[in-house]
A = this chain, B = another copy of it.
Amino acid sequence: MTTRYKMTLAYDGHLFHGFQSQPGQRTVQGTIEAALTKMTKGKVVLVEGSGRTDAGVHALGQVIHFDYPGAKIPPERMLFALNSIMPLDIAFRQSEIVDESFHVRYNAKGKWYRYRVSLDHFVDPFKRFYSGHYPYPVDLVKMQIAARDLVGTHDFTSFTASGGQIKNKVRTMYYVNVKKDDTANELIFDFICSGFLYNMVRILVAMLLEIGNGKRPRDDIPRVIAACDREQVRETAQASGLFLYHVFYGEIPQKYRQDLE
């Protein structure tokens, strides 16, 4: 008898070697699995994540599920129990018991990633682990106009690190937004997509910054998409600016469906 828990969590990725368990490395998945194994006094509990995040990448709304053996624990007590034994760079936010047909990866309808870029010449010491860095002039409106060319259903082969095992690289981009936080002197990029390929957000941000800086024409995106060639965008923005912001399990809300506009 096991009980399936779906839990939402935040983590500061800068001291983790990514989400996925790896022998000898401190990872988010490995840390949670070790905590659960402690709670069950040795029974191994496997954690499934909605997706992996790389070393240095953060989460505000990562989602996991796991099957807890033995007596059913109320979800709010599971939340409290796990938070009590987590290191301070992981915090669970929500907990619910779900049917065993629920799968955190297969049931996800889309994901929201946010990327923050500091435009300061020298990055604020308090942001060095929590932003990318682009100390060059950028034209916000140019990036905003160009970003709309990403919306829709496309083959995103040009925007993923080569060598991945996933063959089908067609995804639907529902929403892209670029804004400036003037107080922080940061750009904030938001992407909601049916699924993200390896390094996709970081490559997209690097390309949009090149457009903003005038190194690449404003109307270059349709050409790059059509090329299906990673060599078209050689840069990848730093891991430190990337946050897994939210995972959608219901339909994507209408206000984020730019592809239907």
Contact = CB atoms under 8 A, between A and B. Distances in A.
Interface of A: 10-12, 58, 83, 86, 88-92, 121-126, 128, 130
23 contacts: A10-B124, A10-B125, A10-B126, A11-B125, A12-B125, A12-B126, A12-B128, A58-B126, A83-B121, A83-B122, A86-B122, A88-B123, A88-B125, A88-B128, A89-B125, A89-B128, A90-B125, A91-B122, A91-B123, A91-B124, A91-B125, A92-B122, A126-B130
Nearest to A13: B125
5 closest Cβ contacts across the A-B interface? A12-B125, A88-B128, A83-B122, A89-B125, A91-B122
Given A58-B126, A83-B122, A92-B122, 13 more contacts: A10-B124, A10-B126, A11-B125, A12-B125, A12-B128, A88-B123, A88-B125, A88-B128, A89-B125, A89-B128, A90-B125, A91-B124, A91-B125
A192 to B, nearest CB: 22
Contacts of A10: 124-126
Contacts of A90: 125
A185 to B, nearest CB: 13
A45 to B, nearest CB: 21
Contacts of A88: 123, 125, 128
Nearest to A123: B88
Contacts of A130: 126
A91 B121 CA distance: 10
A121 B80 CA distance: 10
A83 B135 CA distance: 14
A91 B123 CA distance: 8
A108 B123 CA distance: 28
